[in-house]
Amino acid sequence: MSGTSLDGVDGVLVEFSGDCPVVMAGAYCDFPPALRNELLALQARGADEIHREALAANALARCYADCVAQLLAASQVAPDSVYAIGAHGQTIRHQPGLHDGIGYTRQTQHPALLAELTGIAVVADFRSRDIAAGGQGAPLVPAFHQALFGGAPDTRVVCNLGGFSNISILPPAGSAAPVRGFDCGPGNVLLDLWTLRHRGAAYDAGGAWARTGTMHAGLLAHLLADPYFAQQPPKSTGRDLFNAGWLDERLQAFSALQPADVQATLVALTAEAIARDIRSHAPDTRSLIACGGGARNTAVLAYLQEALPAIAVTTSAAHGIPPQQIEALAFAWLARQCLQGLPGNEPAVTGARGPRILGALYPA
């Protein structure tokens, strides 16, 4: 998995023979700066995009292959013992529902090259079929979250804090209610952008810099006034909406604020968007499991706990899986669903016309 934070590749080697998936190894590969910059540039229109995207997809396949090699070395598993690689690709555009209800999403990658480099079959392009069926193509993790964390006696929410935040609302055991979920808004994307601009660091480790600032209620209200936050699900978002231009436009009336105060307010934006959605769509929630790289931002988790005092806020580590591994594990699960001919989407989440098998197979 390489997500919208654009920091690198997370990989896991997963064994599925038992009742619960077992992570045999985990690995992480940083993006080379030139690749990260090009993937970021491809989020917006530019010259010679087709050629540049193709070269970036080749480079991304090599990063994925390096991650696979690390996993195999760490676990001492041979390539021919692995059924498939579930490769998400890098989202560079996400525009569902543009024309007659059918838009597009673009996760650039070169799955055929990845299969060639690793000698392992690859399952890729997970989102397109859901969009073809009238869905948002996102989020896709709720079905996996239900398989991994479902069955609690009370309503449970799993919150992925990647570049963007999304929640999965898991009904109590024995309930006939469907799994629900949607994107809440920015996760790490604006926090990382602001930190890089003012601190020269890729991210605000643990939210330490944000804690030196003071949240500005007026700016928070101005940011939350964006129509996306009031939109009813199914809904999904990305850098097409929440980006540097979006933030800079809204900061024009608050130019006197100190950078640390803006960062503290962006923490509040991330957490309050999630808290509002839980209060509106899952008011009976009793526990929240945070995962993704943003789960290491204790400032965001502290705000969530304060905003949701009746809910126990933990991370997936309390359930035996490091937060950074959850999304990669989800796409391993989705690849397995594809190979078994089983659906991977939740229509109540994405708005698709029904369950669909997600992904395309590139044989070894």
Point out which residues pair with 160 in neighbouring strands: 166, 291
pLDDT over 70 at 205, yes or no:
yes
Q: pTM here? A: 0.93
Q: How confident is the model at residue 4 (pLDDT cuts 50, 70, 90)?
A: confident
How far out from the chain centre does Cα 193 lie?
17
pLDDT at residue 97 in the model: 75
pLDDT over 90 at 125, yes or no:
yes
Point out which residues pair with 93 in neighbouring strands: 106
Q: How confident is the model at residue 128 (pLDDT cuts 50, 70, 90)?
A: very high
pLDDT over 90 at 5, yes or no:
no
358 touches 127 (CB < 8 A) = yes
DSSP collapsed to 3 states, the chain: CCCCCCCEEEEEEEECCCCCCEEEEEEEEECCHHHHHHHHHCCCCCCCHHHHHHHHHHHHHHHHHHHHHHHHHHHCCCHHHCCCEECCCEEEEEEEEEECCEEEEEEECCHHHHHHHHCCCEEECCCHHHHHCCCCCCCCHHHHHHHHHCCCCCCEEEEEECCEEEEEEECCCCCCCCCEEEEEEECCHHHHHHHHHHHCCCCCHHHHHHHCCCCCHHHHHHHHCCHHHHCCCCCCCCCCCCCHHHHHHHHHHHCCCCHHHHHHHHHHHHHHHHHHHHHHHCCCCCEEEEECHHHHCHHHHHHHHHHCCCCEEEEHHHHCCCHHHHHHHHHHHHHHHHHCCCCCCCHHHHCCCCCCCCCEEECC
Tell me the torsion sign for CA atoms 181, 138, 142, 286.
Answer: negative
Looking only at the bridges linking them, the beta strands covering 164-170 and 85-86 are: unpaired
Q: Where are the domains of the chain?
A: 8-137+324-362, 141-323
pLDDT over 80 at 111, yes or no:
yes
C-alpha to C-alpha distance for 63 and 346, rounded to whole angstroms:
30
pLDDT over 80 at 101, yes or no:
no
Average pLDDT of the residues in 158-163: 96
pLDDT over 90 at 99, yes or no:
no
Tell me the torsion sign for CA atoms 257, 259, 264, 269.
Answer: positive
pLDDT digits over 259-282, tens only? 999 999 999 999 999 999 999 999
Average pLDDT of the residues in 196-200: 97
- Give me the architecture of the 8-137+324-362 domain, per CATH: 2-Layer Sandwich (3.30)
Mean pLDDT of all residues belonging to the chain: 96
Q: How confident is the model at residue 102 (pLDDT cuts 50, 70, 90)?
A: confident
Q: Which two tokens stand for residue 219?
A: 């700016």
pLDDT over 90 at 310, yes or no:
yes
Lowest mean pLDDT among 100-114, 152-166, 255-269, 308-322: 100-114
Average pLDDT of the residues in 94-117: 89
Q: How confident is the model at residue 80 (pLDDT cuts 50, 70, 90)?
A: very high
Point out which residues pair with 23 in neighbouring strands: 14
Domain 141-323 has CATH 3.30.420.40: yes
pLDDT digits over 316-332, tens only? 999 999 999 999 999 99
C-alpha to C-alpha distance for 251 and 256, rounded to whole angstroms:
9
* Residue 59, CA atoms < 13 Å, CB-side half-sphere: 18
Asked, colleague to colleague, whether 8-137+324-362 and 141-323 share their fold, the answer is: yes
Average pLDDT of the residues in 182-187: 97
pLDDT digits over 14-60, tens only? 999 988 899 999 999 999 999 999 999 999 899 999 999 999 999 99
Angle between the N-to-C axes of helices 244-251 and 217-224, in degrees from 0 to 180, rounded to the nearest 10: 130
